[in-house]
Amino acid sequence: MQTEFIISAGEQPKRLDVFLVHREPKLSRAALQRMITAGWVRVNNQIAKSSQRIRAGDVILLDAPQAAPLRIDGEARPLEILFEDSTCLVLNKPAGIVVHPSPGHWSNTLLNALLDHCARRGETETPGVVHRLDKDTSGVMVVAKTEDAHRVLAAQFEEHSIARRYEALVVGVPVESEGRIAAALGPDRHNPKRTSAETFYPKPAVTEYRVEATFGVAAAHLLLHPHTGRTHQIRAHLQSLGHPILGDKTYGGERVGVWGGEDISRVMLHARTLGFRHPVAGVYREFAVPPPDDFTAMAQTLRAFIAR
């Protein structure tokens, strides 16, 4: 359960924790500060700090307090590991699994599986998630196994020196066979769970695309290269282009969730390639995996539909 506050134009700027303690009198300021630190409070869909100043137009989401585990336990789950050494590992994340525990998802996450994997190898450091893929997105991810590796890899993501390529099946066919979408993105003004160009806090975002295949005029298979790493960047950019991803009801509505009378199982987005400098050796490594069976089956369904 979440509580939402939308800051009105007449609200005077004040600290986030001060604002909340007056709106949630049953919670102490110390308790609210702990919740903010734990990530249970977001401002414009971004993790916030207690000292952050709120402004008119801000949207604050407060997760209802709930029991959190004292520790995150490892859970046995098969992992498709592409590379591993003492500092990092690269894996092929399946669709349908949440990457990191959070309220409502304390177990059965990718991190739970990674903790179990590292414990079985006798490693004592906690693996660190450097970047995330959405629950429905499949593909290549890198995970740090030491604090130093986490710092080095995180810096590469911050400076956008990571090489990333994605594949998507989208509604319709872009007019241009290749192009560049340069539209600043941020939390949507009306729905902070979405990313949009209609935002109070735009940040630069660039995605290049190329049409790999078409299915008549009904759909297309795109290859995508995001130069930046905004939340839901590819999904929001393709929606702004007029070609939302098949299965992505959040950005395309109900119409993109069904094909030929059948529900589409998930958002048809796959992280195909990831390249980075090894956090210790400094050598560039690149890893690629083909789309999973459900993605391929969807492409075959589109091809068969057009061939009729």
What does the pLDDT average to over 108-125?
90
- Given a cut of 90, whether residue 254 has pLDDT beyond it is yes
Q: Which two tokens stand for residue 117?
A: 């994997």
Instruction: Tell me the per-residue pLDDT of 287-304, one tens digit each, with 9 for 90 and over.
Output: 999 999 999 999 999 999
Of the listed ranges 56-65, 125-134, 193-202, the least confidently predicted one is 56-65
Task: Collect contacts of 32-36 with beta carbons under 8 A, ≥24 apart.
Answer: 35/62, 35/63, 35/65
DSSP state of 95: T
**Greatest mean pLDDT range, 27-31, 123-127, 134-138:** 134-138
Q: What is the rounded distance in angstroms from the CA atom of residue 41 to the CA atom of residue 176?
A: 41
Bridge partners, residue 138, by sequence: 270
Supply the pLDDT for residue 193: 76
Indicate the pLDDT class of residue 268, thresholds 50, 70 and 90. very high
Supply the pLDDT for residue 133: 94
Q: What is the rounded distance in angstroms from the CA atom of residue 40 to the CA atom of residue 192?
A: 15
- Given a cut of 90, whether residue 21 has pLDDT beyond it is no
Sequential DSSP letters for 176-189: SSEEEEE--BEEBS
- Given a cut of 80, whether residue 308 has pLDDT beyond it is no
Indicate the pLDDT class of residue 215, thresholds 50, 70 and 90. very high
Supply the pLDDT for residue 97: 95
With tokens 């990313």, the residue in question is: 195
Q: 81-158 has which CATH code?
A: 3.30.2350.10
- The residue from 17, 73, 116, 134 that is catalytic is 134
Indicate the pLDDT class of residue 260, thresholds 50, 70 and 90. confident
- Given a cut of 70, whether residue 230 has pLDDT beyond it is yes
> Which of these, 270, 268, 273, lies nearest to 256 by C-alpha position?
268
CATH 3.10.290.10, applies to 2-63: yes
Fold of 163-273+290-307: Pseudouridine synthase (3.30.2350)
Q: What is the rounded distance in angstroms from the CA atom of residue 142 to the CA atom of residue 221?
A: 25
- Start-end ranges of CATH 3.30.2350.10 in the chain? 81-158, 163-273+290-307
Supply the pLDDT for residue 65: 55
Half-sphere exposure of 94 (CA within 13 A, CB side): 12
pTM across the whole model: 0.79
Instruction: Tell me the per-residue pLDDT of 48-107, one tens digit each, with 9 for 90 and over.
Output: 888 899 888 888 888 765 555 546 788 899 999 999 999 999 999 999 999 987 766 778
Q: Is 293 a catalytic residue?
A: no
**Roughly what angle, to the nearest 10 degrees, separates helices 16-23 and 29-37?**
120
What does the pLDDT average to over 34-52?
82
CB burial class (10 A; 0-12, 13-18, 19+) of residue 110?
Answer: buried
- Given a cut of 60, whether residue 15 has pLDDT beyond it is yes
Supply the pLDDT for residue 39: 73
Supply the pLDDT for residue 297: 96
Rounded to the nearest 5°, which phi and psi values hold at 14? -155, 170
Q: Which two tokens stand for residue 130?
A: 């450097």
Q: Which two tokens stand for residue 287?
A: 């890893």
Sequential DSSP letters for 231-248: TTHHHHHHHHHT-PBTT-
- Given a cut of 70, whether residue 228 has pLDDT beyond it is yes
Q: Is 221 helix (H, G, I), strand (E, B) or coil?
A: strand
